[in-house]
């Protein structure tokens, strides 16, 4: 049985977030991904391994190369979890806007 890491652990790292952004645009090989970073390729490989263990990306072998792609369904799970905070902050900003409008009206 393969243990899965917490996907929030994966997205906490800026390099891994950058990899996810790259893969959101297109499927890429490990070499193509690594070429976007100024770090050693084994470092990128370790980040890719963590993303794979978190089930955020998947790999498919085509010929001699392995291509990686974003697992959209798993990213949607993260988005659903974040939505509760988005709603909360939108409500707070709306309340702040209402308060500001009330203060401005009162000052006139």
Please check whether residues 13 and 44 belong to one and the same domain.
yes
pLDDT digits (tens, 9 = 90+) for 89-100: 998 998 898 998
What does each C-alpha distance from 38 to 62, 65, 67 come to in angstroms? 26, 22, 20
| Domain of 37, in residue numbers | 1-70
Please check whether residues 57 and 10 belong to one and the same domain.
yes
Please check whether residues 20 and 47 belong to one and the same domain.
yes
Q: Is the pLDDT assigned to residue 5 strictly greater than 90?
A: no
How far is CA 6 from its chain centroid? Answer: 13
Domain total in the chain: 2
Q: Which residues pair with 67 in a beta bridge?
A: 29, 60
Please check whether residues 84 and 107 belong to one and the same domain.
yes
Please check whether residues 4 and 55 belong to one and the same domain.
yes
**Can you give the pLDDT at residue 4?**
65
Collapse the DSSP code of 66 into the 3-class scheme (helix H, G, I; strand E, B; otherwise coil) and give the result: strand
Please check whether residues 14 and 57 belong to one and the same domain.
yes
Please check whether residues 7 and 55 belong to one and the same domain.
yes
Please check whether residues 35 and 7 belong to one and the same domain.
yes
**Can you give the pLDDT at residue 81?**
87
Q: Would you place residue 18 in the very low, low, confident or very high pLDDT band (cuts 50, 70, 90)?
A: very high
pTM equals 0.75
CATH number where 10 lies: 1.10.10.10
Taking CB atoms within 8 Å and a gap of at least 24, the contacts of 100-105 are none
To 10 degrees, what angle do helices 14-25 and 41-53 make? 80
Please check whether residues 35 and 49 belong to one and the same domain.
yes
């Amino acid at each position: 049985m393969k243990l899965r890491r917490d996907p929030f652990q994966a997205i906490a790292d800026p390099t891994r977030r950058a990899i996810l952004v790259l893969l959101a645009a297109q499927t890429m090989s490990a070499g193509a991904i690594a070429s976007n970073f100024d770090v050693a390729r084994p470092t990128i490989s370790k980040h890719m391994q963590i993303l794979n263990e978190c089930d955020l990306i998947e790999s498919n072998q085509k010929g001699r190369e392995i291509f990686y792609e974003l697992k959209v369904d798993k990213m949607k799970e993260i988005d659903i979890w974040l939505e509760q905070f988005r709603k909360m902050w939108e409500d707070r900003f709306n309340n702040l806007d209402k308060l500001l409008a009330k203060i401005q009206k009162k000052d006139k």
